[in-house]
Amino acid sequence: MGQQSLHGRQSEKKLRSTERELTTPLFLLRCMEVGISIPDLDLLTIGLIMDVWTEKGNDGIDYAYKAQQSDFDRF
């Protein structure tokens, strides 16, 4: 989240209006939304917490096709 160093090159990515810099208050809000306490933060990475928060947002989505074991076996 936010701008990354590109070693002097111009970024080609255009930030959408829904993207914002991950500030400490926003990060702590994300933790609270998924039930992660302050002591738990010592055991988790920022990436893992953001993955959990993203998956929480996907919980309400109904997918047209749900993979079965046979699909994984073919894969």
Tens of pLDDT, residues 36-71: 999 999 999 988 988 898 888 888 888 888 889 999
């994984």: which residue's tokens?
72
Token pair of 57, please? 């947002």
Token pair of 29, please? 């809000």
Residue type, 19: E
User: CA–CA separation, 9 vs 24, rounded Å?
Assistant: 28
Each residue's pLDDT tens digit, 13-35: 665 666 678 889 988 988 998 89
Among candidate residues 15, 57, 41, 65, the one with its CA nearest the CA of residue 2: 15
Secondary structure letter of residue 4 according to DSSP: -
Contact (Cβ atoms closer than 8 angstroms) between residue 1 and residue 19? yes
